[in-house]
């Protein structure tokens, strides 16, 4: 009994000393509540996916992680171009010489120029890709074959190289290994792919997922044919290169009237 009495007395003494220690209990004020509410609202702006092992991310995880932020940024450009977001169709135009990737989109009307991105790294020279290991970025009109949320290059989008045009000419010439695995991805290093950096690939990846890969086209050209014509002026290029360049030019020049109005305000 005496032991219990001593313990109680000790606890009381400790409480008294704590009350005199100079540390005042936290008080709840209107400003404190406002700060807490603001912090909670800011945390809700970004979805932090639960930890996952490498290779377990899904496209939906990426949309939840970056979707709201990307939508907020792209809405500005789409509103300026008078195109609804997300659009119905998207065309990316990759200009190898200029190192730019143009974003075009449309809803119910014509394609309009939305914005462009710098290509941080690519490889090769002017001319189509012919075989595995030639380090060439392909040239032609492609589709998005798949979205990879677990890329070693942050995020990546695989294009359908070789497409029918590439494959048919390879068969005619007896080229068995045209190469594959060509991506648009993040980071700033690449061999045969288009490296866009992490921030840009987040926008491009999310936009493609929201629009649907089947509604996205990728045109890759040695340079901008709206500046000067595409010509197969190298002796090392295949004899069918002029045909390819004619196809690419027609695809891009179909957007030319919109280029003038979008970029000059006419």
Summarize pLDDT for 7-26 with one digit per residue, the tens.
444 443 333 333 333 333 33
Q: What are phi and psi of 183, to 5 degrees?
A: -130, 155
- Residue 55: helix, strand or coil by DSSP? coil
Q: How far is CA 245 from CA 2, 8, 24, 179, 248, in A?
A: 100, 92, 77, 21, 5
Q: Which helix (H) or strand (E) holds 194?
A: strand 194-195
| pLDDT of residue 253 exceeding 60 | yes
What's the confidence (pLDDT) of residue 166? 94
- The more confident residue out of 34 and 75 is 75
pLDDT in tens, 147-163: 999 999 999 999 999 99
Choose the weakest-confidence range: 82-96, 124-138, 146-160, 215-229: 124-138
Asked if residue 247 has pLDDT above 60, the reply is: yes
pLDDT at 11: 41
- Is residue 139 within 8 A of residue 248, CB to CB? The reply is yes
- Helix segments in the chain, DSSP class H: 2-19, 30-44, 59-81, 164-173, 198-211, 241-253, 256-264
Q: What is the pTM of this model?
A: 0.77
48 pLDDT higher than 80: no
What's residue 52's pLDDT? Answer: 60
Asked if pLDDT for residue 246 goes beyond 60, the answer is yes
Catalytic residue numbers, as ranges: 185, 193
| Domains of the chain as residue ranges with CATH | 64-224+245-264 (2.40.440.10)
Give me the residue label for tokens 């008080």. 27
Q: How many angstroms separate the most distant Cα atoms in the chain? A: 106
Does the pLDDT of residue 115 top 80, yes or no?
yes
**Confidence (pLDDT) at 37:** 52
Q: What's the rounded Cα separation, in Å, for the pair 105 and 85? A: 9
Residue for token pair 């949320």? 149
Q: Is it the case that residue 50 has pLDDT exceeding 60?
A: no
Q: For residue 209, what are its two tokens?
A: 């997922």
Task: With a cut of 70, say whether residue 99 has pLDDT above it.
Answer: yes
- Angstrom CA distances, 77 to 80, 206, 215, 227, stand at 5, 15, 19, 24
CA-closest candidate to residue 144, choices 91, 190, 108: 91
């Amino acid at each position: 009994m005496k032991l219990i009495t001593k313990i109680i007395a000790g606890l009381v003494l400790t409480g008294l000393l704590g009350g005199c220690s100079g540390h005042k209990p936290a008080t709840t004020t209107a400003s404190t509540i406002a700060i807490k509410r603001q912090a909670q609202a800011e945390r809700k702006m970004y979805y932090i996916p639960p930890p996952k092992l490498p290779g377990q991310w899904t496209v939906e995880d990426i949309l939840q992680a970056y979707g709201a932020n990307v939508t907020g940024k792209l809405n500005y450009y789409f509103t300026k171009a008078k195109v609804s977001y997300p659009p119905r169709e998207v065309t990316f135009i990759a200009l190898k010489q200029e190192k730019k990737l143009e974003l075009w989109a449309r809803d119910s009307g014509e394609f309009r120029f939305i914005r462009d991105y710098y290509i941080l790294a690519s490889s090769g020279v002017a001319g189509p890709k012919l075989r595995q290991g030639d380090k060439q970025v392909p040239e032609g009109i492609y589709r998005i074959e798949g979205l990879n949320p677990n890329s070693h290059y942050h995020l990546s989008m695989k294009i359908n190289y070789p497409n029918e045009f590439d494959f048919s000419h390879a068969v005619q010439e007896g080229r068995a290994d045209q190469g594959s695995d060509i991506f648009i991805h993040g980071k700033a290093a690449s061999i045969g792919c288009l490296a866009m950096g992490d921030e840009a690939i987040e926008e491009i990846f999310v936009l493609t997922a929201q629009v649907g890969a089947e509604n996205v086209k990728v045109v890759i050209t040695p340079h901008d044919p709206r500046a000067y014509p595409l010509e197969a002026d190298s002796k090392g290029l295949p004899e069918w290169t002029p045909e390819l360049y004619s196809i690419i030019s027609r695809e891009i020049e179909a957007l030319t009237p919109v280029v003038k109005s979008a970029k000059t305000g006419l």
